[in-house]
Every structure is written in structure tokens, then in C-alpha cells.
Copies of this chain bind each other. A is one copy, B any other.
Amino acid sequence: MVIRKISPNLALDHQVSLRRAAGEPIVHLGFGEARLPVFPGLVERLTAGAGRNSYGPVPGYPGVLRAVAGYFARRAMPTTEEQVIVAPGSKALLMALQLVVPGDVLLTEPCWVTYAPQALEAGKRVIGVPIPAECGGVPDPDALREAVRAARAEGANPKIVVLTAPDNPTGTTATPDLIRRICAVAEDEDLLLVSDEIYRDLVHDPGFEYLSPAEVAPSRTVVVTGLSKSLALGGWRIGAARFPADEAGLRMRADVASVASEIWSTLAGPMQEVAEYAFDEPAELVARRDADSRLHGALARAVQDIVVKSGALSRPPTGGFYVYPDFEPLRERLAHEGVVDGESLQEHLVSRYGVAVLAGVHFGDDPRALRFRAATSVLYGDTPELQRAAMEAADPTTVPHVAEALAAIELAFTFSKAAVR
């Protein structure tokens, strides 16, 4: 029997809304969404798709499957329509995968908050594996090999590894070398790789050499993606998955479609029209996405600079909109403030400095670690007007409301005595 509780994100949101209602200004870095307005072309497609009120095919209409296949093909993953499926969010597809693929799950520590509850809901064991020094989102290859063997020795059946690149929560992206080494372990140990590439189009440096495990180990990699992050469409719930082209892959796709038909039927018709347009990647949409990536990079680097200046450690962010600092070097000083672990650090930052972050423990990290995730996209502002001002600025860090929030973050992350609440 699975014990269900409110997710730590939602608990933090609730705390923030209570404080805001009490008149406190809060810089809410706890929420992992792109926080940008909808691109107008997407709204047009939503309206145009309104006539799709019939029950459509479970995996998606032919048009959207063609578009998704093209999206992957342009990323060095040749793909047919039979290999893909769309759904109301990549989360739904990740859950279906957990339900149809037997065996236990290896997750990085830290990782996205939803992977572990999904695995438990599917009756699996979760085996944590540490991340390498250079980035998160992938396990350290040697530690992965070790974890698989140790788990087997304890009677577990490790079969699935979830990878995230760029990563949530660390904001870093696995290098091709690391991906190749993970694929080699997967080959040796007969593991399935689930590659969550939902942040892929938000790599900050256009020259970054991105390698998907589906390029290296195509028969043992399922790729999931979605439009929530790259097009700021979290609330529209659009996800897609790509399965291996071989018989086992197509069988897995059929099983996922079967689960879909029992739980959510299919992606809403109007959203399929949106998805077809978006996965076709018209130039105007790509231009907007690229501009968004630059904005995400600029703000993530600005917060990273504050972190480094404060004396904390942090892997330089390379994709998405997260920074994941480690205040271990300041442990002694923080102990004087009663801050001794991730939870007390999170509480201290919000109650004393009005800066809301999510402690690493909520991502499966060591509870004692002085680590947390800061979602930097929240800095663009709460209204489409403020967000547009940030998007249009040559240097978004100088836009008044952004600069003000960065100043508040600097006071918080340097644990300044100047901040009085």
C-alpha cells in the first residue's frame, strides 16, 4: 500500500501564498516552470483545433505523430510514426512506462520529485545512485555499475535507469562522454534507459554538443519530451515519447498505448493540433525558443554568480532554469543560525530572507546536505507584461523588477545581516 502525501512543491507553494497574503514580499524560487507568456501562434492552433471533439486514436492523430517523428529525426534519431505517442504531459508517459516495464528503477540522487513516487506507485523498488562531479541528471557510471550489482545481491531486479539532460534540479547537462559510459553500463547490465529530454531545447549554449543515449544505444532507450518547458506550456499538458524501432520497442509502445487507453484515452484534440504545429518547429517558434533559452541562461548565470560569490559550491548551469548550490563550505557559520540540514536551510531562507527554495532532500538528496534548488525562471515576473520586459531587454538582469529580486537573493544567499524582515 502506497502512502500518499502532499508533494513538497505544493507544501512550499502553500507556505508562500500564506506569507504573501500576510503582506510579505516573497521571491519564490521554488517552482519549476518557465514562467513566460504563450507564443501567439500556439493560441491560433489551439482555436483551430477546437473541431477535434471526437475521440481520436490513442497514440495521436497521424499528423502529430508525423511531426513528432520529424522532431526526433532532426536530432539524429531517425524515427517513424509507429515509434511515437503523444499524451497529456510527459509525466503521464513516464508513469505508463513504469507500469509496463518490469523491474526496479535506478534514479540519480538528486532527481526530479516525481520519478520516485511513480516507481513506488508501480510497485517497484527505487535504487538511488550518486551523480558525478561534473553534472547531474545521470548517475556516476562506476557508481551505477556498483549499485546494480549491490541491488541484485540484495534480491532487487534493477532494470530501468532514468536520465535527465539538461537536468532538474541541477540545471546541468550530461556530456557525450558520460552518456556513452552510461550506455556501456546499460549494455553490460541489460538496463533500459529512459531519457527525459524535456529541457533539451533549453541548453543555453547553442554550440553545446548534445548526445542522446538513443543515438548510442537505440534499442535500449526510450526518450520522453514535452512542450511544458521549452515553450512555457506547463498548463497545456503536452508530452511525447519515442520508443526503439525494434519489435520490443514497438511492443512497449503498444503497451504504453494500452495503459493510455485505460487512464487518459489520448491527448485532447485541440492540444494535438498545437503539438503538430510545435513539433514541426516553424522558424518563428524556434526563434522564440532560442531567445527564451538565452534568457534562461542569463538569469541562471546571474544567480550562479551570487552563489559562487557567497562562498558556496555549484556546478555551472548549462540548460533549463535551475541552479543547485551546495552551502557545505559555510556549514560552520550556518550552524550558528540553527541551519544544520537542507530543511532548516530552506526554512531559514524563506522565513528570514523571504526567498523560497526547495531543499535537496525533496529531490532525494542527502537530508543533511546544505543543498537546494533555485528555479531562476520565476525572476521574469508574475505577469505577461513583466515577463515581456525581461524577454525584450538586452541585459535582463538590469530590468528593475529582476534586479530587485536578484538583490534580495544576494542578501539571502550571503546570509546578510542587513536583511531585516
Chain A interface (Cβ < 8 Å from any Cβ of B): 1, 4-7, 10, 31, 33, 35, 37-38, 42-43, 46-47, 50-56, 58, 88-89, 91-92, 95, 99-100, 102, 114, 117-118, 121, 228, 232-237, 254-255, 258-259, 261-271, 384
B233, A53: Cβ atoms closer than 8 Å: yes
B102, A262: Cβ atoms closer than 8 Å: no
Q: How far is the CB of A85 from chain B (nearest CB, A)?
A: 14
A265, B91: Cβ atoms closer than 8 Å: yes
B51, A384: Cβ atoms closer than 8 Å: yes
- Listed by A's residue number, 25 A-B pairs whose Cβ atoms lie within 8 Å are A1-B102, A4-B100, A4-B255, A4-B258, A5-B258, A6-B254, A31-B55, A35-B54, A38-B50, A42-B50, A43-B50, A46-B50, A46-B270, A47-B50, A51-B384, A55-B228, A88-B88, A88-B237, A88-B268, A92-B264, A95-B262, A236-B268, A237-B264, A263-B263, A263-B264
Find the residue from A31, A46, A56 having the highest chain B CB count within 10 A.
A46
B269, A236: Cβ atoms closer than 8 Å: yes
Chain B residues whose CB sits within 8 angstroms of the CB of A88 once the complex forms: 88, 237, 264, 268
Q: How far, in angstroms, from A100 to B414 measured CA to CA in the complex? A: 45
Chain B residues whose CB sits within 8 angstroms of the CB of A95 once the complex forms: 262-263
B10, A58: Cβ atoms closer than 8 Å: yes
Q: How far is the CB of A104 from chain B (nearest CB, A)?
A: 15
Q: How far is the CB of A282 from chain B (nearest CB, A)?
A: 18
A53, B6: Cβ atoms closer than 8 Å: no
Q: How far is the CB of A403 from chain B (nearest CB, A)?
A: 23
Q: How far is the CB of A133 from chain B (nearest CB, A)?
A: 31
Q: How far is the CB of A40 from chain B (nearest CB, A)?
A: 9
B4, A236: Cβ atoms closer than 8 Å: no
A268, B268: Cβ atoms closer than 8 Å: yes
Chain B residues whose CB sits within 8 angstroms of the CB of A1 once the complex forms: 102
Chain B residues whose CB sits within 8 angstroms of the CB of A53 once the complex forms: 37-38, 232-236
From the candidates B121, B262, B264, name the one contacting A262 in the complex (CB within 8 A).
B121
B237, A266: Cβ atoms closer than 8 Å: yes
List the 7 shortest-distance A-B pairs measured between CB atoms, nearest first.
Answer: A235-B269, A4-B258, A43-B50, A55-B234, A237-B268, A53-B235, A47-B47
Chain B residues whose CB sits within 8 angstroms of the CB of A114 once the complex forms: 261-262
Q: How far is the CB of A59 from chain B (nearest CB, A)?
A: 11
From the candidates B102, B254, B384, name the one contacting A4 in the complex (CB within 8 A).
B254
Chain B residues whose CB sits within 8 angstroms of the CB of A91 once the complex forms: 262-265
Q: How far is the CB of A263 from chain B (nearest CB, A)?
A: 5
Chain B residues whose CB sits within 8 angstroms of the CB of A92 once the complex forms: 263-264
Given A6-B258, A55-B33, also A89-B264 (CB < 8 A): yes
From the candidates B10, B255, B270, name the one contacting A236 in the complex (CB within 8 A).
B270
Chain B residues whose CB sits within 8 angstroms of the CB of A56 once the complex forms: 235
Find the residue from A95, A102, A262 having the highest chain B CB count within 10 A.
A262
Q: How far is the CB of A82 from chain B (nearest CB, A)?
A: 14
Find the residue from A37, A51, A99, A258 having the highest chain B CB count within 10 A.
A258
Q: How far, in angstroms, from A259 to B117 measured CA to CA in the complex? A: 9
A121, B102: Cβ atoms closer than 8 Å: no
Find the residue from A228, A237, A271 having the highest chain B CB count within 10 A.
A237
Chain B residues whose CB sits within 8 angstroms of the CB of A43 once the complex forms: 47, 50
Find the residue from A43, A228, A264 having the highest chain B CB count within 10 A.
A264
Q: How far, in angstroms, from A233 to B55 measured CA to CA in the complex? A: 8
* Residue on B nearest A267 in the bound complex, by CB: B237
Chain B residues whose CB sits within 8 angstroms of the CB of A7 once the complex forms: 258, 261
Q: How far, in angstroms, from A42 to B50 measured CA to CA in the complex? A: 9
